[in-house]
Structure 1
């Protein structure tokens, strides 16, 4: 089973932005780690259906 392709979302100024479904990032998990440069961030999906990004 493959993930659906990312969609583009128009912006008022500049090129369209890529739009990913949260499921494409989480892939059935409640949290994932994201490396950005030398930092690691944690993206969590809460029981209240919210996303929280922490350093």
Structure 2
């Protein structure tokens, strides 16, 4: 038995640095954190992972830099 499939349509788009691109679906098990919520008190946050600390910085151009 053959199954007819509709061509897949791109999902909703969001603005990226290089224009608009489709948004990929997010698995239900993943949490989404908005970067605006992370940087409410400044342009830098510390993230503790196991016994290590990482620094997540927001640059003037809106890029994210993660350093150990």
Any stretches of 5+ residues in structure 2 without a counterpart?
A: 1-24
**TM-score, normalisation: structure 1:** 0.67
Match of 1:49 in 2: 62
Count of matched residue positions in the alignment of Structure 1 and Structure 2:
44
Normalized per residue, the structure richer in strand is 1
TM-score (norm 2): 0.56
Unaligned runs of 5+ in 1: 1-8
Alignment root-mean-square deviation, CA = 1.6
Higher RCO (C-alpha under 8 Å, 6+ residues apart):
1
Moved >2 Å (runs of 4+) = none
